């Protein structure tokens, strides 16, 4: 009897030990996370950068100072400062926001592939809760570690000013990109302690996250920090960046709105409260990568056209109704014409070759193709000369929405990879499984083709042939043959560079 009691006690002790909050020692200090099923664990709100406040506001990110003892890492950290917008939940936020989340399917493993998720939000909203809030999702259960970092958004992350240029002794303003690079450096130094392989890192993001992926590929400062990349609805050909001189003009206009001009402007700007900075940027978000000569030597598409981007396996694609996001961006017909030279009346004959279109439908198609579809195909074709590329076009709409939906909305593909699944039908679940299989294989091997995944031919320069993702994914040959050449010609005329056709 005594032996049974001892055995039972040992069994209970083992169970309690297995479910105890796990502690991992990072190079800055120990963190205590949350035990999940099996050997899985979640660590939330781990600081990777020093608080960018006071004299560190509007400077490139610095490593966090080490701490003593064990730091609790069982709750999400604050989001970076941002305005309330639409129906987005209001999260706890503050400038001390350079933290990240790690979810590992097996803390005792060695050499697991790593997925770094970069959140979207028009470079003005969002947080590292995106994807990480789904916990141990089916994709991660394939044996993939997730890392989700914050980065400075809005004017905190995108700000050029002559005084900043003078202070740095070079072009500056891409503080958001410095944050992302520092997070990737943290992964390189620490992910093995969570069971990961720092040589098998995939960066992935949608919308501003997808544009971030393209910028990280284009930046000479991030070489060797990732092995593969997946850019979803990230644009890249048009409206992807701005020259330093224009960014400085926009920075001076911001400072004037904030009531700060003249000598000593930088010190006074740094003394402003976060709310004052947010209030000085009313209207639709207008932030983007800055060609500063340091983080970005040239516009993103130019770097790709010159073959100077990171030569890593690359997935790039978009959805069939990207226009769903343009209410946020404010790119209506008038703005398209005045700001980008896109004339709907001139494009009508091209888009009506298959039949007449209403004004609203013409606008929807042009908005979708201008920023997103042409860029997904074009950036893919440019990159294909340097490394393996797979392009996709996500067009799946749940059956109960097909009578009313114009197509798959902006970033509609992401829930099929990470959840929560918007289509719980057998068709929707099967598609999610197929996509998780393809992306899981890509994250592990650098190639989306593998067992049980639909065949996906790599992109060849000179021909747009994406995987058309519907309930039955299949390769689409001569994709957008009637309209894509127009957008490529427009990019060539504006950039002075050539698409490899």
SS (H, E, C) 285-314: CCCCEEECCCCCCCCHHHHHHCCCCCCCCE
Q: What pLDDT sits at residue 477?
A: 87
Q: What pLDDT sits at residue 1?
A: 47
Q: What pLDDT sits at residue 399?
A: 94
CA gap 85, 127 in Å, rounded: 13
> Given pLDDT bands bounded at 50, 70 and 90, which one contains residue 452?
low
- Which of 81-90, 277-286, 392-401, 444-453 has the lowest average pLDDT? 81-90
The tens digit of pLDDT for each residue in 145-186 reads 999 999 999 999 999 999 999 999 999 999 999 999 999 999
pLDDT at 272 > cutoff 60: yes
Strands 314-319 and 228-232: parallel
| DSSP single-letter state for residue 422 | S
Mean pLDDT across 236-244: 93
Most confident range, picked from 219-228, 319-328, 359-368: 219-228
pLDDT at 5 > cutoff 60: no
Chain-wide mean pLDDT for the chain? Answer: 93
Mean pLDDT across 371-375: 95
The three state secondary structure string of 75-113 is CCCCECCCCCCCCCCCCCECCCCCEEEEEECCCCCCCEE
Roughly what angle, to the nearest 10 degrees, separates helices 344-351 and 359-367?
90
The half-sphere exposure of 12 on its side-chain side, counting CA atoms within 13 A, is: 6
434's tokens: 């197929």
Return the higher-pLDDT residue of 21 and 2: 21
Determine the straight-line distance between the first and last CA of the chain, rounded to whole angstroms: 81
CA distances from 58 to 81, 142, 168, 295 (A): 13, 39, 10, 14
pLDDT at 212 > cutoff 60: yes
> Given pLDDT bands bounded at 50, 70 and 90, which one contains residue 135?
very high
Q: Which of 142, 123, 117, 371 is nearest to 230 (CA)?
A: 117
Mean pLDDT across 34-47: 97
pLDDT at 12 > cutoff 70: no
Q: What pLDDT sits at residue 439?
A: 97
- Which of 3-12, 78-87, 98-107, 119-128 has the lowest average pLDDT? 3-12
Mean pLDDT across 240-259: 96
> Given pLDDT bands bounded at 50, 70 and 90, which one contains residue 334?
confident
Q: Cβ distance 389 to 383 under 8 Å?
A: yes
pLDDT at 115 > cutoff 50: yes
In the chain, the percentage of residues whose pLDDT exceeds 70 is 94
CA distances from 460 to 237, 383, 390 (A): 18, 10, 9
> Given pLDDT bands bounded at 50, 70 and 90, which one contains residue 284?
confident
User: Under DSSP, is residue 64 helix (H, G, I), strand (E, B) or coil?
Assistant: coil
The half-sphere exposure of 242 on its side-chain side, counting CA atoms within 13 A, is: 17
> Given pLDDT bands bounded at 50, 70 and 90, which one contains residue 108?
very high
- Which of 16-20, 305-309, 455-459 has the lowest average pLDDT? 16-20
> Given pLDDT bands bounded at 50, 70 and 90, which one contains residue 499?
confident
Contacts within 8 Å (CB) and 24+ apart, 435-443: 435/469, 436/138, 436/139, 436/142, 439/139, 439/204, 439/230, 439/315, 440/139, 440/142, 440/144, 442/202, 442/228, 442/230, 442/313, 442/315, 442/390, 443/113, 443/115, 443/144, 443/200, 443/202, 443/228
pLDDT at 474 > cutoff 90: yes
Q: What pLDDT sits at residue 330?
A: 59
CA distances from 205 to 121, 318, 373, 392, 451 (A): 11, 12, 16, 15, 25
Which string of DSSP letters, residue by residue, matches 238-302?
Answer: SSSEEEHHHHHHHHHHHHHHTT--STTHHHHHHHS-HHHHHHTS-SS----EEE-SSS-SS-HHH
């Amino acid at each position: 009897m005594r032996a049974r009691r001892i055995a039972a006690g040992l069994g209970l002790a083992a169970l309690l030990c297995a479910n105890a909050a796990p502690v991992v020692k990072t190079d800055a200090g120990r963190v205590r996370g949350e035990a999940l099923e099996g050997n899985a664990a979640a660590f939330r709100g781990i600081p990777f950068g020093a608080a960018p406040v006071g004299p560190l506001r509007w400077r490139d990110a610095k490593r966090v100072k080490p701490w003593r003892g064990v730091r609790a890492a069982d709750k999400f950290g604050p989001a970076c400062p941002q305005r309330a917008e639409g129906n987005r939940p209001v999260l706890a936020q503050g400038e001390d926001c350079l933290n990240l989340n790690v979810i590992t399917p097996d803390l005792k493993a060695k050499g697991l592939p790593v997925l770094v998720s970069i959140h979207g939000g028009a470079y003005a909203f969002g947080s590292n809760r995106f994807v990480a809030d789904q916990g141990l999702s089916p994709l991660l259960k394939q044996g993939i570690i997730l890392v989700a970092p914050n980065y400075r958004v809005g004017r905190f992350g995108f700000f050029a000013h002559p005084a900043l240029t003078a202070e740095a002794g070079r072009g500056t303003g891409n503080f958001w990109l410095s944050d992302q690079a520092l997070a990737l450096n943290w992964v390189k130094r620490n992910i093995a302690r969570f069971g990961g392989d720092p040589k098998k890192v995939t960066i992935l993001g949608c919308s501003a996250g997808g544009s971030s992926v393209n910028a990280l590929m284009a930046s000479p400062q991030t070489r060797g920090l990732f092995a593969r990349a997946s850019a979803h609805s990230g644009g890249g050909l048009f409206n992807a960046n701005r020259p330093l001189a224009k960014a400085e003009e926009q920075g001076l206009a911001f400072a004037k709105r904030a009531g700060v001009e003249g000598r000593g402007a930088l010190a006074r700007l740094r003394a402003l409260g976060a709310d004052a900075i947010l209030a000085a940027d009313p209207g639709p978000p207008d932030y983007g990568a800055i060609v500063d000569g340091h983080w970005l030597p040239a516009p993103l598409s130019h770097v790709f056209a010159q073959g100077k981007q990171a030569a890593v396996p690359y997935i790039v694609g978009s959805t069939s109704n990207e226009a769903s996001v343009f209410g946020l961006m404010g790119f209506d017909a008038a703005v398209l014409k005045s700001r980008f030279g896109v004339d709907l009346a001139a494009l009508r004959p091209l888009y009506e070759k298959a039949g007449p279109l209403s004004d609203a439908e013409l606008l929807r198609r042009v908005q979708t193709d201008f920023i997103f579809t042409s860029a997904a195909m074009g950036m893919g074709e440019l990159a294909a000369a340097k490394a393996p590329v797979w392009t996709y076009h996500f067009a799946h709409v749940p059956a109960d929405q097909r009578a009313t939906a114009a197509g798959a909305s902006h970033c509609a593909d992401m829930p099929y990879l990470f959840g929560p699944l918007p289509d719980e039908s057998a068709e929707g679940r099967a598609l999610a499984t197929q996509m998780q299989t393809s992306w899981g294989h890509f994250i592990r091997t650098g190639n989306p083709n593998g067992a049980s995944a639909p065949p996906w031919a790599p992109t060849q320069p000179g021909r747009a042939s994406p995987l058309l993702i519907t309930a039955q994914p299949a390769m689409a040959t001569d994709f957008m043959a009637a309209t894509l050449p127009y957008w490529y010609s427009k990019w060539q005329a504006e950039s002075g560079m050539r698409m490899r056709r």
